[in-house]
Homo-oligomer: A and B are copies of this chain.
Amino acid sequence: MVRANTVSIQTLRRLPLYLHYLKSVRGALPRISATVLADALGFNDVQVRKDLGSVSGNGRPKKGYETEELIADLELYLGCDSRTPAVLIGAGNLGRALLSYGGFSDYGLEIVAAFDSSDAVVGTTAGKKTVMGMDKLRTICEENGVRLGIITVPAAGAQSACDKLVECGVKAIWNFAPTTLKVPHGVLVENENLASSLAVLSKHLTGEDTGA
């Protein structure tokens, strides 16, 4: 029984890890159990069994899953076969890295264009794409049916970039700027706050009790 529509955000975040691991062992392990997968990834096996059961109906008691079947079920659920066109705003170091990073295509993400408000950056090439001025944003979003936007501008310009994306019909925003964004109902923002992660790591090194 597949209960895809009741998958929690927490489960959803773990699914790509399962998929990535399964692909790495597909040749060696024709079958795999939730317990083996849990052990390999350092997760609780009850949780893994529950996660897999929510996206695949092919698990067998005691026998586990056919690795290829489970990979197919995960790819289908995660929409790896479908294509998600996206635009990126902010062609600085991080923006250029994401543009040239190939890993996202495994998950269907295709960054169709990059934009920047700086005349010094517009016209330069990043990841085989020519950075465009913000005035081109609406046209590109409409022509490509873009509903996902990636923000890699400095914090001060993040809300403005976010507002422009929303005006162009974007419904999901991946925010790498170290600030929170205000969006209308129905628009999802996923914050990738590197500074917060760094704070946790640095504090661990100072020996503070962070209540971890």
Verify if A167 is at the interface (C-beta below 8 Å from B): no
> How many chain A residues touch the partner (CB < 8 A)?
70
A174-212 interface code vs B (CB 8 A; 1 in, 0 out): 100011101000001010111111111111111011111
Chief secondary structure at chain A's binding surface: helix
Cross-chain contact B7 with A211 (CB below 8 angstroms):
yes
* A41 contacts across to B, CB distance below 8 A: 179-180
Cross-chain contact A94 with B101 (CB below 8 angstroms):
yes
Verify if A112 is at the interface (C-beta below 8 Å from B): no
Verify if A122 is at the interface (C-beta below 8 Å from B): no
Verify if A129 is at the interface (C-beta below 8 Å from B): no
List A31-45 residues whose CB lies under 8 Å from chain B.
41-43
A45-64 interface code vs B (CB 8 A; 1 in, 0 out): 00000000000000000000
* A212 contacts across to B, CB distance below 8 A: 9, 188
Additional A-B contacts beyond A21-B179, A93-B97, A107-B202 (12; CB < 8 A)? A12-B196, A12-B200, A12-B210, A16-B196, A17-B179, A17-B196, A20-B155, A24-B155, A78-B202, A148-B202, A192-B192, A192-B194
